[in-house]
Amino acid sequence: MLALSLLVFALSHKSGDPRTVMLTAYTSKEQWDAWGREWGLDKPLLQQYAIWLGRALRGDLGESLRELRPVGKVIAERIPATLELAGGAFAFSILIGVPLGVLSAVRRGGVLDYAGRTFALFGQALPPFWLGIMLILIFAVRFDWFPTSGRGNIAHYVLPSITLGWLTAAGMLRIMRSSMLEVLDSEYIKLARAKGVSYTSLVWKHALRNALLAPLTYAGLVLAGLITGAVVTETVFAWPGVGRLAVQSVNNNDFPAMTGVVLMFSLIYLGMNLLIDVAYALIDPRIRY
């Protein structure tokens, strides 16, 4: 986090002087210098970083140059919208990817297998921004089934969740299928079948649990990725989340908001990796030893 904070702080300042956003035809040199003193831009970059880091460690990420409010409050207001969208996309990924992956493995070479792999192929090939626009044109503009943008009732979540979650559902399907195929070919599964265990119980109770380790790792990273990777989807659907805040901060050269958003995203990734390691031991008792 320390190395990342230095990198992000330096790159955000290399994007240009944020005071240019405030310039008007009536801005004087005195006003320009006053902004520099107020935001600490008159000091060397390393000194600026040291001041900013000291405040950040106390929970003060500075003031947004665009909204003229503390960055922490601005991000806190946007987080619920991003978490809701990421939750919808994650639910879509799990509810579609896991069952289709299991069925694709169980019906290897059949119609369900080809249908599942076709779904995965399209999910990994279609760019999210294009997919979002096509979903809006077809289901919002042509058929008028869903709203085109914004955050409101449950209908507003359908198209953004599919747009954000299709790629991860495709990845979940492929990993689940590979894991299930490996488990179904193992010796203990063959022994259980020889003992007369029902095929349904064999697949959904015994094989599925042992095949979940790889999908669990992917699911944890997916959830973090959905939270941090919602930038494109939130922009396409005008979703008032942190991803859209990041785009607006870049466009307005609002470096306090930019650094705050990136640090929050990084912390989510680190925390999710820790949770995945803990979950390993809960699912597979062998790892505890």
- What is the residue-wise DSSP string for 70-93? BHHHHHHHHHHHHHHHHHHHHHHH
Distance CA 164, CA 171 (A): 13
Closest to 165 (Cα-Cα) out of 116, 114, 242, 95: 95
User: pLDDT at position 172, please?
Assistant: 85
User: pLDDT at position 115, please?
Assistant: 86
Locate 174 and state its tokens: 């492929």
Mean pLDDT, the chain cut into blocks of 10 residues (289 residues total): 82 70 73 74 78 82 79 87 88 87 81 84 85 89 84 85 87 84 73 69 69 74 77 84 84 81 84 79 67
Distance CA 93, CA 228 (A): 16
**CA-based end-to-end distance of the chain:** 30
**What distance lies between CA 142 and its chain's CA centroid?**
29
Q: CATH assignment of 83-240?
A: 1.10.3720.10
β-partners of residue 70 are 63
pTM of the full structure: 0.74
Burial (CB < 10 A; 0-12, 13-18, 19+), residue 14, is exposed
Domain ranges of the chain: 2-57, 83-240
- Strand blocks (E) in 145-285: none
- Number of Cβ atoms within 10 Å of the Cβ of 128: 18
Q: Letter for the amino acid at 142?
A: R
User: pLDDT at position 257, please?
Assistant: 84
